Amino acid sequence: MSILKLVENFNNFDLSFLKSKADISFLKPYRNKKILMVGYNDNETQINNIQNFDISEINKNITKYNLFVISHRINFENRQKIKDIVNLFKKHKKDFIFYGYSTYLNLNLDNSNKMFRPIDIRKEPFNVKNFKILSQGPYYYYLIQYIILAIFAIYLNIKFNKFLYKILILIVILFALFIPFKNILYIRNNG
């Protein structure tokens, strides 16, 4: 058996049972509402869901549900798609929960390469008002990396007194402005 066949066979296995369930504990107060999860996979939640951010699919289901939950995967989508989704909910006066990330600087950049960047719909160009913060906190993956980098930069400045290491510590301090932290927002559009 060739390596290519082996890799193809391995990729055909369904390993979805290894994935963990999504943390949706922020939905407990809204159990009495009819909820549609947008951007969640079937193995992440037992609640009805749409696995992608297809506007036509959301529009087809918009009258059946009174609360929509937008997953953290929205941070990989382009700005226009996010605007279209937000405007669709405004147009139909539907409440939604937005699982985004924020930084101290506004990084709502357009995304043509499907790369992660923190989206905060409270900031320009979205400027969503009438929201309630359900959950907020650091993104531990990046925070741990930053702490390790900061410790390394401080160590270099103590061990070797060089001008470039002083510039490195300055860059590390400024890098803190880009560390994303989680923002789960409840956006009210029904009045």
Q: Sort strands 181-187 and 95-102 into parallel, antiparallel or unpaired.
A: antiparallel
Per-residue pLDDT tens for 54-63? 999 999 999 9
pTM to 2 decimal places: 0.78
User: Per-residue pLDDT for 15 more than 80?
Assistant: no
Q: State the angle between helix axes of 140-159 and 163-175 in degrees (0 to 180), rounded to the nearest 10.
A: 160
Choose from 88-92, 111-115, 118-122, 156-160 the range with maximum mean pLDDT. 88-92
Decide: 108 and 79 in contact? Cβ < 8 Å.
yes
Q: Is residue 6 scored above 90 in pLDDT? A: no
SS3 180: coil
Query: Which domains occur in the chain, in start order?
Result: 19-137+181-187 (3.40.50)
Contacts of 102 (CB under 8 A, 6+ apart): 118, 120, 122, 123, 180, 181, 183
pLDDT tens digit sequence for 98-109: 999 888 888 888
Residue for token digits 């700005």? 79
Which range (14-23, 95-104, 128-137) has the least confidence?
14-23
| Rounded Cα gap, residues 174 and 146, in angstroms | 11
